[in-house]
């Protein structure tokens, strides 16, 4: 759960209304306004004047998939530089302004998007939106800042090479995505980070940070007219059109395995099966099936069989990875080397059992109740969390009424559909990556 900004008594009270809309019982209305600014930007707004806080989330589509080959990590480095000086403020001056005003501003790059998160008290909103405008529209990309952030990223990359889970993740990505851009690292490596020039950073900033592929969510003490004016000022200097390279859809390559020897105490196991993208009509049926298999942690089948009954692992889980152009279902765990073969055999047996026999009506009903209720806890416990949800409603084309319709969509999933998808997705020979001591 994300930390709630500032003194949160009144905010929690207001958030309860949002939480309750997803729980059993009468549905409480959640007012999400769709605002279109004069420049044409679309925004989802939840106005709340009871506490003087404003949270803003922005997504620019494109992400690290737009990095040039051999220069992986460019967008990640660019994101790290956006608050390292802008306009006439160098890095020290810009950071001082953030500290003086109490504005929280962060930028991050993922495979499919560049994300912006801002939080401010109402009294500093003019300063906050001006700092946001400068970061997006007039970043300096000073040489000293570039080298400082480059070195920081290199240190993080070097450290990750000692982590078996990071090594397994990188190896799996390369194995299942082959020559597709998704096989490449978002953070890059020491070599690619070293090859990135200032011109590369300026180029990808112009390519991704544009007005046509962005989604905005705002929560807090600001009305639609004030917000529209401020956002137009923020976005005015950005290009009208992005210059994104086309990324093709890709199906993960399965049915193979890879083992990497690494001198660590335990072997890290990752298995990949087919998945469905968020836009697929059967997504919720797949989501519920995964919850029963391994997404429900302590209540899941693989947790019960592998950890509770046999004590082979400390933790084990499965999840659905959904990207703009690919999807898969993954299972991951770690175990002692002497338990490796038994752990793998037990996981595969449990997956096969679900593929052949499906799930029970009781399991499905329990999964529905959990998935309906936990969404509010995980996503609607803070103003920033709600702003992120407002963005997701747009980027995933869920509709402005999703918070009202989600419960009904999940409740309507049929047992036969869940079992059909279990047969379809779990009968496939998975891709397996093992990283650990003396593995073959």
Give the whole-angstrom CA distance, residue 398 versus residue 329: 21
In this predicted structure, the answer to whether residue 29 has a pLDDT above a threshold of 60 is no
pLDDT at residue 2 tops 90: no
Between the two ends of the chain, the Cα-to-Cα distance in Å is: 39
How many Å apart are CA 429 and CA 426, to the nearest integer?
8
Per-residue model confidence (pLDDT) at position 24: 39
- Residues with Cβ within 8 Å of 432's Cβ and at least 6 positions away in sequence, in order, are 256, 257, 258, 269, 270, 271, 272, 344
Q: State pTM to two decimals.
A: 0.89
Q: What is the pLDDT of residue 30?
A: 60
Q: Domains, the chain, ranges and CATH?
A: 31-235 (3.30.830.10), 257-436 (3.30.830.10)
CA distance 312 to 78: 43
CA distances from 352 to 152, 198, 293, 333, 434 (A): 44, 51, 11, 18, 20
Q: Where are the alpha helices (DSSP H) in 196-263?
A: 198-208, 224-235
**How do residues 68-103 score in pLDDT, each as one tens digit?**
999 999 999 999 999 999 999 999 999 999 999 999
CB 327 within 8 A of CB 277: yes
pLDDT surpassing 80 at residue 28 = no
pLDDT bucket at 299, cuts 50 / 70 / 90? confident
Average pLDDT, the chain: 92
Residue range 14-39: average pLDDT?
59
Mean pLDDT of 371-386: 91
Is residue 10 scored above 90 in pLDDT?
no
Q: Is the pLDDT of residue 224 over 70?
A: yes
Confidence band, pLDDT 50/70/90 cuts, at residue 296: confident
Strands (E), 305-345: 316-322, 327-336
Q: Is the dihedral of CA 61, 67, 72, 75 positive or negative?
A: negative
Q: What is the mean pLDDT of residues 358-362?
A: 98
Residues 6 or more apart whose Cβ sits within 8 Å of residue 56: 116, 117, 118, 119, 132, 216, 217, 218, 387
Please give the residue that has the higher pLDDT: either 28 or 432.
432
């Amino acid at each position: 759960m994300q930390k709630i900004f500032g003194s949160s008594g009144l905010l929690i009270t207001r958030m309860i209304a949002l939480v309750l809309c997803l729980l059993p019982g009468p549905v409480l209305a959640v007012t999400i306004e769709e605002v279109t600014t004069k420049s044409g930007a679309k925004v989802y707004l939840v106005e709340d004047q009871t506490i003087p806080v404003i949270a803003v989330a922005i997504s620019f589509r494109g992400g690290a998939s737009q990095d040039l080959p051999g220069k992986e990590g460019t967008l990640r480095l660019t994101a790290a530089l956006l608050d390292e000086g802008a306009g006439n403020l160098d890095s020290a001056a810009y950071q001082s302004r953030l500290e003086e005003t109490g504005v929280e501003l962060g930028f991050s790059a993922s495979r499919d998007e560049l994300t912006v998160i801002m939080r401010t008290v109402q009294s500093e909103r003019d300063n906050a939106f001006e700092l946001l405008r400068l970061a997006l529209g007039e970043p300096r990309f000073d040489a000293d800042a570039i080298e400082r952030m480059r070195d920081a990223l290199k240190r993080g990359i070097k450290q990750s090479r000692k982590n078996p889970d990071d090594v397994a993740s990188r190896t799996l990505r390369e194995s299942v995505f082959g020559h597709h851009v998704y096989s490449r690292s978002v953070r890059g490596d020491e070599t690619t980070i070293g090859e990135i020039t200032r011109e590369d950073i300026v180029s990808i900033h112009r390519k991704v940070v544009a007005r046509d592929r962005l989604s905005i969510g705002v929560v807090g003490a600001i009305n639609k007219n004030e917000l529209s004016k401020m956002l137009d000022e923020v976005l005015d200097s950005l290009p009208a059109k992005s210059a994104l390279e086309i990324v093709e859809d890709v199906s993960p390559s399965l049915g193979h395995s890879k083992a990497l020897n690494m001198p660590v105490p335990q072997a890290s196991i990752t298995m990949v099966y087919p998945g469905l993208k968020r836009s697929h009509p059967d997504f919720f049926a797949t989501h519920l099936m995964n919850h029963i298999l391994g997404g429900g942690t302590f209540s899941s089948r693989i947790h019960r069989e592998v950890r509770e009954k046999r004590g082979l692992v400390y933790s084990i889980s499965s999840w659905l990875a959904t990207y703009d152009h690919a999807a898969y279902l993954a299972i991951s765990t770690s175990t002692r080397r002497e338990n490796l073969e038994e752990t793998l055999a037990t996981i595969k047996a449990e997956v096969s059992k679900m593929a052949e026999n499906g799930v029970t009506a009781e399991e499905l009903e329990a999964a529905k109740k959990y998935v309906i209720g936990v969404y509010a806890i995980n996503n609607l416990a803070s103003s920033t969390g709600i702003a992120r949800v407002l963005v997701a409603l747009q980027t995933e084309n869920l509709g402005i009424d999703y918070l009202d319709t989600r419960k009904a969509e999940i409740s309507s999933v049929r047992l036969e559909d869940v079992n059909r998808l279990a047969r379809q997705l779990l009968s496939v020979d998975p891709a397996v990556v093992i990283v650990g001591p003396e593995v073959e």
